[in-house]
């Protein structure tokens, strides 16, 4: 464990705060990778279904998707 003396509640509180700060700071500065929208448009044109996969916490993943629309 990173903080062996912390309780699970302390670890969870710190982790939630870290993720909240990420969303707060990243809000206006997110940019898609070059070519992402071209790839998505081509997939749509060809009726190819697409999905987003992430190992980020769900709130962060939804935040990223919303901000890259």
Q: What is the pLDDT of residue 30?
A: 86
Q: Which two tokens stand for residue 67?
A: 């901000």
Q: What is the pLDDT of residue 49?
A: 96
Q: What distance in Å separates the CA atoms of residue 42 and residue 54, rounded to the nearest whole number? A: 22
In this predicted structure, the answer to whether residue 1 has a pLDDT above a threshold of 80 is no
The whole-number pLDDT of residue 16 equals: 94
Return d(Cα 13, Cα 7) in angstroms, integer.
Answer: 10
Cβ partners under 8 Å of residue 6, min gap 6: 14
User: What pLDDT, on the 0 to 100 scale, is given for residue 27?
Assistant: 81
pTM over cut 0.85: no
3-58 residue pLDDT tens: 999 999 999 999 999 999 999 998 878 888 999 999 999 999 999 999 888 999 99
């Amino acid at each position: 464990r990173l903080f062996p003396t912390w309780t699970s509640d302390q670890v969870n509180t710190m982790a939630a705060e870290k993720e909240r700060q990420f969303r707060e700071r990243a809000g206006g500065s997110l940019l898609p990778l070059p070519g992402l929208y071209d790839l998505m448009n081509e997939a749509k044109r060809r009726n190819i279904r697409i999905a987003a996969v992430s190992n980020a916490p769900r709130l962060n993943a939804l935040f990223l998707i919303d901000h890259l629309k």
